[in-house]
C-alpha cells in the first residue's frame, strides 16, 4: 500500500512540475514572439511581416501561435502562445496545452525612464543599402 501511495504521489509531483515548466516555456515564448513581432517596425531590420516573425520564433520554441494582434507600422504587438503539456495525468484531465499572453511596444529612447539606461541608449537607424 505504501509503495502504491508513493508512486501516485511521485506521478502527481512529476506532472505538476511538467505543467509549471510548460507554463514557463509558454510565457517565455509569448514574450519572445511579441518582441519579434515589433522588429519589422525598425527600419531595415526585417522584410517579414510581424505575424511571420512571431510565428518563426514560436515554431523554433516548439509552440503554437494562437493569436497575433500586430500590424506593420503600429509599433505594437499582442500575442497569445500555447505549448503542449507533457505528463501522464494532467494531459488526460484535459490540460493538454497551456497558454500565455504577452505584449510589446517599440519605443524610442526619449520615452525611456531617465537614468543610466537612457544615456547609453541611442535610436540608431540602420543604413539603407
- Residues in CB range of 66: below 8 A, 6 or more apart: 80, 81, 82, 99
First and final CA of the chain: distance in angstroms? 73
pLDDT above 50: residue 124: no
Predicted confidence at residue 112, as pLDDT, reads 55
117 domain residue, yes or no: no
126 domain residue, yes or no: no
For residues 25 and 29, give the distance between their C-alpha atoms in angstroms, rounded to a whole number. Answer: 6
Give the burial class of 93: count Cβ atoms within 10 A of its Cβ; 0-12 exposed, 13-18 middle, 19 or more buried: exposed
Question: How many domains does the chain divide into?
Answer: 1
85 domain residue, yes or no: yes
Predicted confidence at residue 115, as pLDDT, reads 53
123 domain residue, yes or no: no
Predicted confidence at residue 119, as pLDDT, reads 44
Place of cell 526619449: 110
User: What is the domain extent for residue 10?
Assistant: 2-109
What digits encode the pLDDT tens for the residues 81-94?
Answer: 999 888 766 666 76
What digits encode the pLDDT tens for the residues 23-78?
Answer: 899 999 999 999 889 888 777 776 788 899 899 999 999 999 999 998 887 788 89
Predicted confidence at residue 79, as pLDDT, reads 92
122 domain residue, yes or no: no
CATH number of the domain at 7, please: 3.30.1300
63 domain residue, yes or no: yes
128 domain residue, yes or no: no
Amino acid at each position: 500500500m505504501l509503495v502504491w501511495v508513493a508512486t501516485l504521489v511521485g506521478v502527481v509531483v512529476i506532472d505538476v512540475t511538467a505543467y509549471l515548466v510548460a507554463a514557463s516555456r509558454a510565457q517565455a515564448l509569448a514574450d519572445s514572439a511579441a518582441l519579434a513581432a515589433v522588429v519589422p517596425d525598425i527600419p531595415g531590420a526585417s522584410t517579414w511581416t510581424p505575424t511571420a516573425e512571431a510565428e518563426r520564433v514560436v515554431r523554433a520554441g516548439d509552440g503554437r501561435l494562437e493569436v497575433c494582434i500586430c500590424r506593420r507600422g503600429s509599433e505594437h504587438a499582442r500575442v497569445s502562445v500555447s505549448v503542449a503539456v507533457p505528463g501522464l495525468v494532467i494531459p488526460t484531465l484535459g490540460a493538454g496545452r497551456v497558454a500565455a499572453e504577452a505584449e510589446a511596444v517599440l519605443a524610442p529612447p526619449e520615452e525611456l525612464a531617465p537614468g543610466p539606461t537612457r544615456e547609453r541608449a541611442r535610436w540608431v537607424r540602420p543604413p539603407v543599402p
